[in-house]
Amino acid sequence: MSWRDVDDDWDGTLDDGWGDDTELGPRRWGPGMVALTWLVVVAMLGSAVAAFVVLVLG
SS3 52: helix
pTM for this model (two decimals) = 0.50
Cβ-contact 27, 36 below 8 angstroms: no
Q: Where on the phi/psi map is residue 25: left (φ > 0), alpha (ψ -120 to 50), or beta?
A: left
pLDDT, position 58: 82
Confidence of residue 41 (pLDDT cuts 50, 70, 90): very high
pLDDT, position 28: 74
The set of residues, in sequence order, having a beta carbon less than 8 Å from that of 27 and lying 6+ positions away, is 14, 16
| Domain-wise residue ranges, the chain | 3-57
| Cα 36 from chain centroid (whole Å) | 11
pLDDT tens string 3-19: 565 566 555 555 555 55
The yes-or-no verdict on residue 48 having pLDDT over 80 is yes
Residue of higher predicted confidence among 53 and 18: 53
